[in-house]
Amino acid sequence: MVKSSGGRTVRDPQSASLGTVLTATLLAVAGQCFLSQSQILWTLWPGIGLMAAALWQSRRALDSTITTGTFKGERLIFALVILLAVFFHFWRLGEFPAGLHQDLGEMGLCAMRIWREGWRPLEEAFQYPTPFLTDFYSMAAWFALVGSSLFSIQLFFILFSLAALPVLYLFFRKLAGVPAALLTLFFFATMRWQWVEARNPHPSCEAPLYVLGVMALLLAGFQNRKPLYLAGAAFVSGLGLYAYQSLKSLFLLMAAIALFEYFQFPKDRKGVLKALKWVVPVFLILALPLIKYFFDEGTLGQRESGAFILPTLLLKGSLMPLLQSVVGAALMLNRAADMDPFHNLPGHRMLDDVTGVLFWIGLALAWRWRKERRGAYPLLGFGVMLLPGLLTNEGWATQRYTGILPFVAYFAALGTVGLGNAFARAWKGKRTVLWVAGVLLVAAVTAQNAFTYFGLEASNPRCQKAAGPEQTFIGREIARMEKEEPGRYRYLLDPFYQHNPTVGFLGYAVLDRTGPFLVSDWAEGKMPHDKDCVLFLAEGKSGTWLFLKSLFPDGQGGLFRKLDGQAGLYLEKVPASDLERFRPWDRGLQGAYFQAGRWTDPPAFFQKDPLINFSSREDFPLTGDLPYRVLWMGRLQINTPGDYAFNLLCPDEARLWLDGKKVSPEIPVHLSAGFHPLRLEYDKTQGYYTALHLVWKTPHGSDWEVVPAEAFGRIEGRK
């Protein structure tokens, strides 16, 4: 299938008929057809059986020929694949993903503090949800060079992803020859999995570069017997301790490869032992801060302590969580994977069907070579870099497995080379047909990955929302307004976004003029008066937005809509002159807030609430552990008599009484004109998500809407 224009060819003595090769191929394709139907449960076992039969049959069919040396057209193909990778990393980047996830916003905010404030974190960084010290400093340098923005942070990680491509090619070219290296490069460049992590962006996309860098240096060091290369591998591994969490496995990978070299090449054992004199000190010096932190705190970091599976195993007294992780990892490539819409189209397999078939065939071929570097290095890399995912409580969290991507691509390339050579031998004289088949294979892989990501994933509402489009809009809008009219506004955020790191990163320049918006304070006139104010209200705050528009009719309102057309958040600009003239609002409900305990216990405090339109936990002034309760008392003013229907939108328990009678949800009650005593109870006993909206349908209305502030009477004690 591929001609060598130089070098040498090593051939395993394989011989198989065309029927044998076709049978193995068709069995594998049929197995993948069943495995891909994850929505139909019974397809799992036929898929596994057919794939196993294909692997068994391929023992006689596969050709393990490898070609080394130069290759006609190598540079052109390399350049084309690199261009293809660049295209898919940047195409429609402004459309999807639709925002910047708050984890990345926090990394950007930390980098800004290093750059702008002279902050120099070390051990304290391990307490962050994103404890990536290497990224904090390198990103700070990047911002100093190109500036800080949404695109600059995207570009930072995309360049990390693209930088892995030449390292990958050089490593596998040295390991298995030009054809296998070019195919590995292609599969890696067109892998949706890598696009997702790089474009989101997410620090997991760094893993392939670190892994390949370590392995390339190890290969060069052991092949050429140069300890300096091995010390370089230890240096890269040490830096990985402070990058993405899965890279803490790199030292295990180095140890596994050193053991392979020691036992597989007895003549070089002295060289391996001598190399350790370079490797261990370099790694230990870089690891000292983390080692000290571990002995001080008993953990490698906040994220690691929460994700490590051992406490879960001990708590349950069972290995079942570990078994579930193993099963999830085994099925994520070909059948069903991560449900997290930030990292995957929920539940979709991570590989396209062609790559999924070729991966298993190539894995079987690599197992034949387990005693050679071309098989052992990728197998060890694949096995060790599986551990960060397998040993966490989230066995299907695919971002933790990104260290295996180079080896997945390599095994798919081996499967292609093996089948291609087998067909070429069994079907002599049909080279044109084989080249056409190769072109169709390349097109199918590219097309399916592109369709899944830019078609299905980009149009999925859950995937769109996962990247934080609302918080990104707020941050970018603040930056835009500040650029157009510097110093004019104060920016007040819905409590849900008050401490959002993406907003903080994108609006870093005006953090001193950014604060919370509390409708209860504004109703009492407790708001800034020195500047015009821009208010950002979260999704679900339609009632609060209409209340503000009634209070400040000269304000300018706006609505940011999500891609599905629903309201994402509300924006209101209020002039300082209106704020100065504002008189406190005297209507609403008196809220008694109880921090745990019983209804008969004294409340923690009281708060006057102009309306019940709470869309997040941050809207409630209570803090601490659950349970907590709220009791609101007041009067409902009815101007138009008739039948009114009420509902309480919340994930917890809530009860409403009018005129001393309990109101059933959505069941109309006849209310006469005038005031009606109201009592509303709310219990929060479990879970994190918190919301409460008191909504109604009026006699002449057809839609549910938040009961407006004007519908409540004066709060007792107010004139």
pLDDT at 9: 45
Looking at residue 28, what is its pLDDT? 93
Buried/exposed 664-687: b ≥16 CB within 10 Å, e otherwise:
eeeeeeebeeeebebbbebbbeee
SS3 47: helix
The full length of the chain comes to 719
CB 375 within 8 A of CB 366: yes
Confidence bin at 171 (pLDDT 50/70/90)? very high
570 Cβ neighbours under 8 A, 6+ residues apart: 535, 536, 537, 541, 542, 544, 545, 557, 558, 559, 560
Residue 125 predicted with pLDDT over 50? yes
> How far apart, in whole angstroms, are the C-alpha atoms of residue 125 and residue 118?
15
Q: What is the pLDDT of residues 182-235, one digit of tens each?
A: 999 999 999 999 999 999 999 999 999 999 999 999 999 988 888 889 999 999
Q: How confident is the model at residue 307, as a pLDDT?
A: 80
Residue 497 identity (one-letter amino acid): Y
The count of C-alpha atoms lying within 13 angstroms of the C-alpha of 453, restricted to the half-sphere facing its C-beta, is 30
Per-residue pLDDT band for 53 (boundaries 50, 70, 90) equals very high
**What DSSP line would sit under 496-541, residue for residue?**
GGTT-HHHHHHTGGGGGGEEE--HHHHHTT-S--SSEEEEEE-TT-
At CB < 8 A and 24+ separation, what contacts does 451-455 make?
A: 452/192, 452/345, 452/348, 452/352, 453/192, 453/195, 453/196, 453/345, 454/91, 454/92, 454/96
The per-residue b/e assignment along 150-172, b for 16 or more CB within 10 angstroms, e otherwise, is beebbbbbbebbbebbebbbebb
Task: Label residue 36 by pLDDT band (50, 70, 90).
Answer: very high
Split at pLDDT 50, 70, 90, the class of 601 is: confident
Distance CA 620, CA 654 (A): 15
pLDDT in tens, 470-524: 999 999 999 999 999 999 999 999 999 999 999 999 999 999 999 999 999 999 9
Amino acid in position 492: L
Between 567 and 648, where is the model more confident? 648
Token digits of residue 452:
């899944």
What pLDDT was estimated at residue 299? 80
pLDDT band at 19 (very low <50, low <70, confident <90, very high): confident
Contact (Cβ atoms closer than 8 angstroms) between residue 150 and residue 506:
yes
Tens-place pLDDT, residues 451-477: 999 999 999 999 998 999 999 999 999
Name the strands in the sheet holding 653-658, side by side, starting at the edge strand that comes first in the sequence. Answer: 605-609, 589-595, 628-638, 674-684, 653-658, 661-662
- The residue-averaged pLDDT of 660-673 equals 96
pTM above 0.75, yes or no: yes
Q: Looking at this protein, which amino acid is placed at residue 469? A: P
The alpha carbon dihedral of 698, 700, 706, 712 has a sign of: negative
Q: Kindly report, residue by residue over 292-343, the tens digit of the pLDDT.
A: 988 888 887 777 777 888 888 888 888 888 998 999 999 999 999 999 999 9
Per-residue tokens: 623: 């803090």
